[in-house]
Structure 1
Amino acid sequence: MHNATRVPTTNTIDIYTFLYIFGMSSRVYSSTASRSITTFTHCRSCRSSSKLAYSRRHLATPASPSISPVRRIGRGFFRYFVAPVVSLSIGYAAGLYIMSAAAVAEAPVVDKVVYDPQIDAAIDVLPLVVSLRSDPRFTESRPHAAAPDHLKKQMLTAEVLTGPGRLAVPPIVWTDSEAREMVSIVHLGRNLCGHPGIIHGGLLATLLDEGLCHCAFLALPSNIGVTANLNLNYRSPAFAERLYVMRANVTKVDGRKAWVKGHFETIPEDGKEPTTVVEGEILVVEPKWAKSLPKVVDATA
């Protein structure tokens, strides 16, 4: 899902330039015509200046004063000011309209994020997933997918980081409310790297922060809290285009405070122990104004 700003094409700029010149053409024409008329009048005045002056003096009477200067001023005002301004305004407005219409026509269409069904299929056959789904203690959910649309658009991991090459599928979460334990399966794409092929450490911190907080919600009275402290230790690089397991459990609760430990690890393989990628501990505090915060998802569901 990309937002792109399109630059007007050369054809659009050429149209705008033409309209701008068209708007100025009235002024050019007026100036040229005015110089021609002035030159012609000046030449005639050289030959018959005495007759022209005599006629004006005798035609102008108290009842019918000469209006030639007034007409000349009116024609000049219209020719040099009104006509150029009106033409230029029309050309400028038309150019802006064409440019905006072209930009809208060329703007990319942003489609709704489509999750990769092949990754979901690979998750479904994992022995860990089969075991969790058969365990009645755990409740399965997808918090990112369950978030309301009007809130999802403002969320980093549920909107901005989703899509092909990033979080190609919403993380699946299993929670045990009684034991205050959480297990999650996450797929990390190739466009989430800090170095080529290696997932950015800041992204791992973000996902671990969200996962440990989600686990802490199980122990807080209102199931809402904010991060007060987060400590991380990176143990091994996380490679892109792979599935990872996030595990977390609440270690201590004191009123509106909850401490949680957790880590990211690789998918267990037959006969091999999973490799820990990053581990951390978090302190989550339920704020006094927790009731005023919008509840994105139900952590206990």
Structure 2
Amino acid sequence: MDDRDWLAERFEENRARLRTVAYRMLGSLAEAEDAVQEGWLRLSRSDTSAVENLSGWLTTVVGRVCLTMLQARRSRREDPLDAHVPDPLVSLDERLDPEHEAVLADSVGLALLVVLETLDPPERLAFVLHDMFDVPFPEIAAIVGRSEGAARQLASRARRKVKGAAPVPDEDPVRQRVVVDAFLAAARAGDFDALVAVLDPDVVLRADSGALPARPSRVIRGAASVAEQAVVFARPDRAVGPALVNGAAGLVARTASGRPVAVMGFTVAGGRIVEIDVLADPARVSHVVLHETEDR
């Protein structure tokens, strides 16, 4: 086995972890794959003979790539995308076998990813790498080009923002499913009062339709307003079925022909729905749902 083959094997051993790092940094499956591929290209062009911890080196490299991508993304945006929903991780098989229990335990909810989208790129990098993947602050400081103390401050500032904005979901997936099923049944029946009963009074719904002019992306707040939209979502020409969305109870809506048109992620806290994140961008929905089907 030559050196390149050896490096390729080591990289494949780290690919899943690197993809997870990149996804949490970027909130985009396609961009995460691009970042991981760039990590491989940099590895293949580098002299790693003096690297003692290749896994840590790769994490640092992919983190640096993600930071550059986040900064470029931020510079292109003229207006904040209040209703932007990150790419969901969709599983159409909700049987809680050991594999799915592991996925559930390792998933980051859409509500947290939405909050991460609001952080400045260096804050997001510091929080994700340190708080989620235990990367030491000296390594984070080298990526962001700041002192170790400044890197600590970035993570601390991000931590305060996340704590103040990201709801803490109920952990029991069965209880989550009971609440989401009650929401769907009430929506199908057009039962406004039953819908309000399963919604937190301050519930937030984000609907990301991409660039569709007929269905603009929007944020809706309050149980009454969200209940009105839920009745519209449960249209008779759509088949709505259960799914795991980022490890939590969710729904996938399809046309009569079976084409996926929307993914709904729910955050259930205290037995009520506190956030609903709807991805209805046709291209992205097809990618995340069909990609999941192909991987099964």
TM range (shorter): under 0.3
More helix by share: 2
Q: Structure 1-normalised TM-score?
A: 0.22
More strand by share: 1
Q: Structure 2-normalised TM-score?
A: 0.22
Q: Larger relative contact order (C-alpha < 8 A, sep ≥ 6)?
A: 2
